[in-house]
Structure 1
Amino acid sequence: MSRPNYNRVASTNLGAGGGYRILEGKTAIVTGASRGIGAAVCQNLAAKGCSLLMVYTSDSSTDKTTELADKLTSDYGIRAVTVQADMGSEKGPSHIISMARNHFSHPKTKKLQIDIVINNAGIASNRSIEDVDCEHFASLYNVNVRGPLLLMKEVIAYLPTDRSGRIVNVSSVSASLGFHKQSVYGGTKAALEAMTRTWARELSERCTVNAVDPGPVATDMYRGTSAEFQNQMSHWTKNTPLAAVREGVDSEEFLKGAENAGGRPGYDFEVAGVIAMLCTPDSGWCTGSVICANGGFKFSN
């Protein structure tokens, strides 16, 4: 896909060329880092000076994640380490923290501090009520809900103690808009938002905890949806203030599909920009909130 012709100041001009590296010296864990929103978050945080533990799941993503880590290290002078871990398994989160200790602990004191956690990894599958089974339910809840909870359980001992930590959970507009065939997927994202509010209270002296709620985003997952599905969403997209396509700005792919889809999806770097904003010191008075990262697809309360 060709990139839209945006001036990507927020995600590319804050890097190693002497720009404002507001996250210099910080370390972040980003799950689902191999592609889409996760990869864009890694680029944005690296451009701000943040070192990264980049988590991916499948063997097919190994080369892609490694190449991205190498590029971010070269472009921004940060440290980027990849780790393969299944967020749907009981031991995946503990393996992530074990790798963090191995690679980011102080060489003498062995102290480890994780400043930022981006719970981005997730899976989606749409089924009507009569087609839901226990295996489908468990697979989505294990990755989308249990995984972030177990990761927080593992990371809590390594969070800052001065409220400077940042947790951002990647939810979805599906948590609150009631789309067809999303009893399970929408439920997982609603659960993640509920945990966001609880963690904001339990961890108030350690970090802020917020969620973002993307709508349709131009990722592999979106491209795997049918024209029929995109048309079913079109009446929401038509009412999304920032979804109207623009000649000379937006990707040709979405210019052609706009009539059926009602407009364009968000770009991964647009969502990443909102997530990264919540990781900066400027967001220190915001916690327990779900922040709009969907162009107005759903207005936040």
Structure 2
Amino acid sequence: MSRPEYSRTLSTNLSSGGSARPLEGKVAIVTGGSRGIGAAICRNFAAKGCHLILNYTSDNSAKPTEELASKLEQEHRIRTVVVQADMGSVKGPAHIVTMGQNGLKHPKTGKFQIDIIVNNAGVSVNRPIEECDAEDFEKQYNVNVRGPLFLMQAAIPFLPTDRSGRVVNVSSVSASCGFVSQSVYGGTKAALEAMTRTWARELAERCTVNAINPGPVATDMYGGTSKEFQMAMSSWTKNTPLSKIREGIDKQEFVDNEPFAGGRPAYVEDIAGVVGMLCSAESGWCTGSVVCANGGMRFSP
């Protein structure tokens, strides 16, 4: 089954009835929800009946985010709130919560609950030690570490009190694999994983808190990487069980690129599926974990 057919089938199956919409009526915040992994997560949630607060940062993302939100509303009978906010700023994360509350609170009772938070927004710059500077360090840590912390801080008053909440932090294999030129980026993701474990304890009566650790993913960011970067990663990719190319199934661009990359990256739907699994009711006994979303590139935490 091709990727487009897979996506359509998932959407059709999840929209076919109430019992097939396991997130019916819940509210989720997805940061960096305008494209790539974030947009795929939004599509996954919407097909399951979840209302969405979609965050984006740059003006260039305004139109695609609005279009995505409108499309999901029409196709899945959900409500959405689109919020422009910089997760790297001091006030941006709280602004997301405030705008979500204004747009999705109950019209009569004023009740507002955040059932799911996906800390997906992130920035990555690869630099060797000699080229790392304070500005780059500050930017990556502000977005990738401080942003999720401040978002959680703002969201706590609105989390469930029955352990039904779900938080998923999007980390990376970079947190533990020690890739060259990722002193800063890898450090931010390791910090996010450390916070995942702390939050799992602090918020145990409110929600589960887990992280996922994708490897290469077929996004605009991956598409902009050089052949040299992909070749440097190829030894890892070749040893990733699920990265082997499947002709006739995988996109032709990945088939053609196999000599450089050593295999295929994840599709965004692959990552969204793992996030969706962790946000289900059935995942209620899983918390404080870093869950594989990398095809087996990294087996252990």
Contact 1:128 1:180 in 2 (8 A): yes
**What residue number does 1:7 align with?**
6
**What residue number does 1:210 align with?**
210
Residue 13 of structure 1 aligns to a residue whose secondary structure is helix
**What residue number does 2:16 align with?**
17
Contact 2:52 2:80 in 1 (8 A): yes
Q: 1:192-245 deviations in whole A, cap 9, x for unaligned?
A: 000000000000000000000000000000001000000000000000000011
**What residue number does 1:264 align with?**
264
Calculate the TM-score normalised by the size of structure 1. 0.97
Higher helix share: 2
Residue 61 of structure 1 aligns to a residue whose secondary structure is helix
Aligned-pair Cα RMSD in Å: 1.2
5+ residue gaps in structure 2?
A: none
Q: Distance in 2 between matches of 1:108 and 1:5?
A: 41
Residue 248 of structure 1 aligns to a residue whose secondary structure is coil
Q: Distance in 2 between matches of 1:215 and 1:72?
A: 27
**What residue number does 2:288 align with?**
288
Task: State whether structure 2 residue 241 is matched by structure 1 residue 249.
Answer: no
Residue 152 of structure 1 deviates from its aligned partner by 0.2
Q: 1:39-80 deviations in whole A, cap 9, x for unaligned?
A: 000000000110000000000000000000011001111111
Q: Distance in 2 between matches of 1:10 and 1:284?
A: 26
Residue 52 of structure 1 aligns to a residue whose secondary structure is strand
Contact 1:119 1:148 in 2 (8 A): yes
Residue 153 of structure 1 deviates from its aligned partner by 0.3
User: In structure 2, what residue type is equivalent to 1:244?
Assistant: K
**What residue number does 1:32 align with?**
32
Q: Distance in 2 between matches of 1:57 and 1:155?
A: 19
Contact 1:161 1:205 in 2 (8 A): yes
Residue 18 of structure 1 deviates from its aligned partner by 2.1
Task: State whether structure 2 residue 93 is matched by structure 1 residue 81.
Answer: no
Q: 1:68-94 deviations in whole A, cap 9, x for unaligned?
A: 001100111111121100000001011
For residues 35 and 231 of structure 1, do their structure 2 counterparts lie closer, same or farther at Cα, with a shift above 3 Å needed?
same
**What residue number does 1:59 align with?**
59
For residues 56 and 5 of structure 1, do their structure 2 counterparts lie closer, same or farther at Cα, with a shift above 3 Å needed?
closer
Q: How many residues align?
A: 299
Q: 1:132-179 deviations in whole A, cap 9, x for unaligned?
A: 111010000000000000000000000000000000000000000000
Contact 1:24 1:49 in 2 (8 A): yes
Calculate the TM-score normalised by the size of structure 2. 0.97
Residue 107 of structure 1 deviates from its aligned partner by 1.2
5+ residue gaps in structure 1?
A: none
Contact 2:140 2:188 in 1 (8 A): yes
Residue 259 of structure 1 deviates from its aligned partner by 1.1
Q: Distance in 2 between matches of 1:276 and 1:39?
A: 13
What percentage of aligned pairs have identical amino acids?
64
